[in-house]
Amino acid sequence: MKFYIASRLKDKKLVETIHKELTSRGHVFTSEWVKEGNLTPYEDYPEEAERLAIQCSNAINDCDVFILISDENGSGMYIELGMALERAKSSKTPKIFVIGKYNNSCVFFYHPLIKRMATFEDVFKEIGI
C-alpha cells in the first residue's frame, strides 16, 4: 500500500518511525517530507517551499491511505486533509484516517469518508496490515 502521513513538524520523529516500520513490511510512502530540512519561515525559502508544496500535493493524489496525526494547532496538515478528502469524494481513494488525542476537535473529522482512530495500530488493524 502507498501511504501519506500528515502531521506537525514536532511529530517528525514519530512519522519517521512509522515510515521505517511500514517500509520494512513492503509498503511505500508517496512523500518523504520528513527528510526535508526545516523550511520555516517559508518566505525565506520560497523556491523550496513551492517545490515541497507541489511534491506533497502530488503525493496525496497518489496515496492509498492518508493518515493525519491530529493536534490542537497546525495549518498545513489540515490543508493536506482537505486535499485528501476532495480526492476521496471523487475517486473513493484514499482511505482517510485521523488519529490521536484531538481526533474529535474539528467538525470535518466527522465527515463520513474519514475514520477517527486513537493510534496507528488501530489504523493498521482496520486496513488489515
Supply the pLDDT for residue 9.
87
Supply the pLDDT for residue 39.
82
The parts of the chain modelled with pLDDT lower than 70 are: none
- Hey, where are the domains in the chain? 2-127
Supply the pLDDT for residue 66.
97
Q: Which fold, 2-127?
A: Rossmann fold (3.40.50)
pLDDT digits (tens, 9 = 90+) for 28-40: 999 988 887 788 8
Burial class from Cβ neighbours inside 10 Å (0-12, 13-18, 19+) for residue 91 reads: exposed
pTM: 0.94
88: three-class secondary structure by DSSP: helix
The grid cell for 52 is 515541497
Nearest alpha carbon to residue 16 among 35, 1, 30, 2: 35
